Amino acid sequence: MRALIIDDSRAMRTIISRIITGLGFEVTQAGDGKQGLDTLRALPAQPDIVLVDWNMPEMTGIEFLRAMRADATFAGVKVVMVTTEAEMARVSEALDAGANEYVMKPFTPEIMVDKLRMLGLPGLA
C-alpha cells in the first residue's frame, strides 16, 4: 500500500509517517499542496491514500484537494484531511470537496488507524 503525506510541518509528517509505515504503507512526503500535487502526478503508481493538512503555504490542503478531485485520474484515491480546523463548517467543506475522512489534530495513533480502517483500505480490515 502506498501513501502520500502532505503537511508543511516536518514533525507532523514524521508522526503520521511512523503510524502508517507501521501498518505496512510505503510513504512519500510533500511540504505543501503545490509540491503534493506535483508529487502525486509524478509518482510511478497512485497512492492508496493521501493524508493532507489544511493550512499550508503555497497551496492549502483544500486547494490541493479540489485540484486533485478535478483530475479524474485520481478519482479512486482516498483522502484524509488531517488538520487543526475543528469547525463543522470546515469539516463539511472538506467532505464536500472530496475528502473521504477528517482527522483533527492533535490525534492519537489509534484514531488515525481507526479512520484508515473505516476507509476499507486493503489489509486494514
Query: Could you report the per-residue pLDDT of 94-107, keeping only the tens digit for each?
Result: 999 999 999 999 99
Question: Per-residue confidence at 125, pLDDT binned at 50, 70, 90?
Answer: low
Residue ranges of the domains in the chain? Answer: 2-118
Kindly report the pTM of this predicted structure.
0.95
SS3 per-residue string spanning the chain = CEEEEECCCHHHHHHHHHHHHCCCCEEEEECCHHHHHHHHHHCCCCCCEEEECCCCCCCCHHHHHHHHHCCHHHCCCEEEEEECCCCHHHHHHHHHHCCCEEEECCCCHHHHHHHHHHCCCCCCC
Please give the CATH architecture assigned to the domain spanning 2-118. Answer: 3-Layer(aba) Sandwich (3.40)
Query: Could you report the per-residue pLDDT of 18-43, keeping only the tens digit for each?
Result: 999 999 999 999 999 999 999 999 99
